[in-house]
Amino acid sequence: MSKDRPNESDSLNSEIESALGGMNLQEVDLPSRNKSDGRNQKRGVIVGISGDDVIVEIGPRMQGVISLREFQTPPQVGEVHEFTLHGREDDLWKLSRKDAQVLAAWGDVEKGSIVKAKVTGVNTGGLELKVGPLAAFMPASQISLSREENLSQFLTQILTCEVLEVDREKKRILLSRRTVLETEREGERKEFVGKFQSGQTVKGRVTRVEPFGAFVDLGNGVEGLVHVSNVSRKRIESASEVLTPGQSVDVMILEIKDGGKRIGLGMKQLEPDPWAYAAQRFAVDSIIEGTVTRLMEFGAFVELEPGLEGLVHVSQLSKDRVRRPGDVVKPGQKLTVRIVSVEPSRSRIALSRLDARGAMIGSEDSVDTAVIDTAMKANEPKPIGTNLGNLFKKLKDKP
Cα–Cα distance measured from residue 159 to residue 172, given in angstroms and rounded to the nearest whole number:
18
pLDDT at site 373: 59
In this prediction, residues 132-154 reach a mean pLDDT of 88
Asked whether 389 and 383 are in contact (CB, 8 A), the reply is no
In this prediction, residues 315-335 reach a mean pLDDT of 92
Using the predicted structure, report yes or no on whether residue 143 has a pLDDT greater than 50.
Answer: yes
**Cβ neighbours around 246 below 10 Å, total:** 8
pLDDT digits (tens, 9 = 90+) for 61-79: 889 999 898 887 889 999 9
Using the predicted structure, report yes or no on whether residue 305 has a pLDDT greater than 80.
Answer: yes
Structure confidence at residue 386 as a pLDDT band (50, 70, 90): very low
DSSP code for 68: G
pLDDT at site 100: 61
Q: What is the DSSP string of 284-340?
A: TT-EEEEEEEEEETTEEEEEEETTEEEEEEGGGS-SS--S-GGGT--TT-EEEEEEE
Domains of the chain with bracketed CATH: 8-30+109-183 (2.40.50.140), 41-103 (2.40.50.140), 194-270 (2.40.50.140), 274-375 (2.40.50.140)
SS3 99: helix
Scored b (16 or more CB within 10 A) or e, 251-278 reads: bbbbebeeebeebbbbbbeeeeebbeeb
- Report for 11-15, 105-109, 187-191, 380-384: range of highest mean pLDDT: 187-191
Residues with Cβ within 8 Å of 126's Cβ and at least 6 positions away in sequence, in order, are: 15, 19, 137, 138, 139, 140, 142, 143, 151
In this prediction, residues 323-331 reach a mean pLDDT of 92
pLDDT digits (tens, 9 = 90+) for 217-250: 998 888 999 999 999 888 888 999 999 999 999 9
pLDDT digits (tens, 9 = 90+) for 17-63: 666 655 555 444 433 333 444 457 788 899 999 888 999 998 888 89
In this prediction, residues 317-340 reach a mean pLDDT of 92
Burial class (CB in 10 A: 0-12, 13-18, 19+), 51: exposed
List residues bridging with 120 in a β-sheet: none
Structure confidence at residue 380 as a pLDDT band (50, 70, 90): low
pLDDT at site 34: 39
The percent of residues in the chain predicted with pLDDT above 70, rounded, is 79
Smallest CA-to-CA distance from 200 within 273, 248, 276, 264 is with: 264
pLDDT at site 40: 73
pLDDT at site 391: 45
Using the predicted structure, report yes or no on whether residue 216 has a pLDDT greater than 80.
Answer: yes
pLDDT at site 8: 60
| pTM (predicted TM-score) | 0.51
Using the predicted structure, report yes or no on whether residue 163 has a pLDDT greater than 70.
Answer: yes
Residues with Cβ within 8 Å of 222's Cβ and at least 6 positions away in sequence, in order, are: 189, 192, 193, 260, 263
Sign of CA dihedral 46, 48, 50, 51: positive
Helix or strand run (H / E) with residue 165: strand 158-167
In this prediction, residues 174-184 reach a mean pLDDT of 91
pLDDT at site 206: 96
pLDDT digits (tens, 9 = 90+) for 82-126: 888 888 887 888 888 776 665 555 666 788 888 888 999 998 789
Instruction: Indicate the Cα dihedral angle 243, 247, 249, 251, nearest 10°.
Output: 60
Instruction: Indicate the Cα dihedral angle 338, 340, 341, 342, nearest 10°.
Output: -10
Burial class (CB in 10 A: 0-12, 13-18, 19+), 174: buried
Residues with Cβ within 8 Å of 263's Cβ and at least 6 positions away in sequence, in order, are: 193, 196, 218, 222, 223, 224, 225, 253, 255, 256, 257
SS3 83: strand
Using the predicted structure, report yes or no on whether residue 213 has a pLDDT greater than 50.
Answer: yes
Cα–Cα distance measured from residue 360 to residue 362, given in angstroms and rounded to the nearest whole number:
6
What average pLDDT does the chain have? 81
